[in-house]
Amino acid sequence: MPKVAFYTLGCKLNYAETSAIGKKFLDRGYEVVEFGSPAEVCVINTCSVTGRADRESRQIIRRAVRTSQKPFVIVTGCYAQLEPNEIAAVRGVDLILGSREKFDLFDYVGTLEKSLYPHVFVSPIETTDDFGTAVSTTVGERTRAFLKIQDGCDYNCSFCTIPLARGLSRSQSGDMTVIQARELVAQGYKEIVLTGVNVGDYDRRPGGGLLPLLQRLTEIDGLERIRISSIEPNLITAEILDFVASSRKVCSHFHIPLQSGCDEILKGMRRRYTTGQYRQLVERIRNRLPDCAIGVDVIVGFPGETDDRFAQTCTFLNELPYSYLHVFTYSERPNTPAAKYLNHVEPRIRYKRNETLRMLGLGKKRQFYENMVGAAATILCEKDNDGSMRFGFTDNYVRVGVPLDAAAENDLVPVRIVGIHDGICIGRPGWEQVAG
């Protein structure tokens, strides 16, 4: 049986798409093995959101090339779409596929024989208007599945390459999404994470939208949890918030990109809200769902971010009632408007600011976990364990450990959170789940 290995960099959407590509190999009789193991084929799904992501992609490509069996190396993803010539310069790469080509991979692989120079198939992004495949299970994971419902973005933020790498916003039909969700439940998955570049922009046709899709998905028997991945703040409507608050199945968890706590910087980023509007949204969520997990993305070191403007961001984030923080260091991306802005921040200052906000975020997460001590919750247990404890997440994204003998992988276990150890909540099994 031929073997194939995968490596995925970047976002949840990339993981969903790698899974879709993996299914094509499984359907052709391949065995999926760990990256680095001997394999006839190695597929790398790259990211290009920052310069660091580009570097990591190149490092992984070189690792794949150096493996002992000299596999047929296929590179796809955002970095492949944006910089195919940089990848082609890495000796040992065999095939480079763009955003349009990656889901038809077997139309391009030929006989899978290695050659001196890679074959490159990357169409202009303007021609990429199909949705692709959204089968979304993860190899070795049977607890949670990523289901791609949307791709591309029309927002054109000044720092972002995603529209250049993935094209305009487009969505999978509600009927197809429901069919795929049912298939995932039949395979044993109890939680589905809805993924996309801009999930809140799902299906803008009359009668469409994210809310009607959520309503349909909650009707699927056996689907216990529906989690929304990152969603833009201007797209969380009052109706969506009300539905999440009233639903037993939709997770009490919003991950909402902020990017800066300074209005001047937000304007330069071409974001579609002010800090005042963002604060009102978070407070509205917190009032409606007191235990809701609220994740925040922020970028440090954007051009024009003076000490005073960074201080504004620190103050804003310190006062905001969120649950955890993801911090990204700004990276100039080719062909983006921000790359041409003046007043760039020195790299050493960017990294220092990243560390400052990272520590602030850790404190917020610790506070959120402390507030959960004493609460009753239900965790969905994962394979992950340390030999004595098995770990899982509550619907509001709190990581909880329970005794290994008290739960198996993919069990839904009611617990009482009794403490915190090494940054993880400790659960006592056997408490009844809180209604609602």
What pLDDT, in 10s, does the model give residues 230-239?
999 999 999 9
Instruction: Work out whether the CA dihedral 399, 234, 124, 151 comes out positive or negative.
Output: positive
What would the two tokens of residue 381 be?
């247990």
**For residues 425 and 391, is the Cβ–Cβ distance under 8 A?**
no
Task: Find out whether 193 and 144 touch, Cβ atoms under 8 Å.
Answer: yes
Strands 376-385 and 412-421, bridge-based pairing: antiparallel
The pLDDT, as a whole number, for residue 431 is: 63
Tokens 């030999």 locate to 387
State the Cα–Cα distance between residues 341 and 237, nearest whole angstrom. 33
All domains of the chain in start order, with CATH? 3-125 (3.40.50.12160), 129-251 (3.30.750.210), 254-372 (3.30.750.200), 376-429 (2.40.50)
How does pLDDT run across 228-283, given as a tens digit for each residue?
Answer: 999 999 999 999 999 999 999 999 999 999 999 999 999 999 999 999 999 999 99
pLDDT digit of tens for each residue in the chain (436 aa)? Answer: 899 999 999 888 888 889 889 889 999 999 999 998 999 999 999 999 888 899 999 999 999 998 867 899 999 999 999 999 999 999 999 999 999 899 899 999 888 888 888 999 999 887 766 666 655 555 445 688 999 999 999 998 999 999 999 999 999 999 999 999 999 999 999 999 999 999 999 998 888 999 999 999 999 999 999 999 999 999 999 999 999 999 999 999 999 999 999 999 999 999 999 999 999 999 999 999 999 999 999 999 999 999 999 999 999 999 999 999 999 999 999 999 999 999 999 999 999 999 999 999 999 999 999 999 999 999 999 988 888 899 999 999 999 999 998 889 999 999 999 999 999 999 999 865 444 3
SS3 labels along 71-138: CEEEEEEHHHHHCHHHHHCCCCCCEEECCCCHHHHHHCCCCCCCCCCCEEECCCHHHCCCCCCCCCCE
| Location of structure tokens 């305009």 | 168
pLDDT in tens, 131-159: 666 555 554 456 889 999 999 999 989 99
Residue 288 tokens, joined = 């409606």
**How many beta carbons lie within 10 A of that of residue 358, not counting itself?**
13
